Amino acid sequence: VESEIWPNRLAALATRDIPVAVVNGRMSADSAGRWARLPGTARRVFGSLALVLAQGPGDAARFADLCAPQVELVGNLKRAAAPLAADPAALDAMQRAVAGRRAWVAASTHPGEDEAMARAHGQAAAAHPDLLTVVAPRHPERAAEVAAVFAQRGLPAGRRSADGLPKPGHAVFIADTLGE
């Protein structure tokens, strides 16, 4: 899906006659240029694809130039999806819990980014003392690790899984549940 092209995996799949489709495919001009320097390899790799569903016209043209046999322009599938439904009662409860506070969200965070978020919170909280930082780790099981980084700076953190909603004393709220 999107931009990961693994030549060895594609070759193994081709050996087993397993068709491969690239869905929501992207191909930058730089990547296409690098592949074009190896035309034989590009022909083998991209020629093995059964179907490419490209995000944009440029992506479609680059895949076709690299010998993908069937390329269709379908647009960005992420943008084509309808917005996710929100439970009106849950949304109202969250809005009431955060009412009157400035908030910012660090979404889909990874290890190594927590300290930078804590520093950013400290800098922004100097101007906005009631600031709420909402952290949604890419892997919710990291919630305790994220909370520990903020706790080292004396910043109390609540967790969606334990506290439900941010409390007035929380500087940080960790969104450690899925599907919301």
Alpha-carbon distance 125 to 143, whole Å?
A: 22
pTM over cut 0.85: no
Query: For residue range 150-165, what is the model confidence (pLDDT) as tens digits?
Result: 999 999 999 999 989 9
Amino acid at 26: R
Query: For residue range 8-30, what is the model confidence (pLDDT) as tens digits?
Result: 999 999 999 999 999 999 999 99
Q: C-alpha dihedral over 51, 57, 58, 62, to 10 degrees?
A: 30
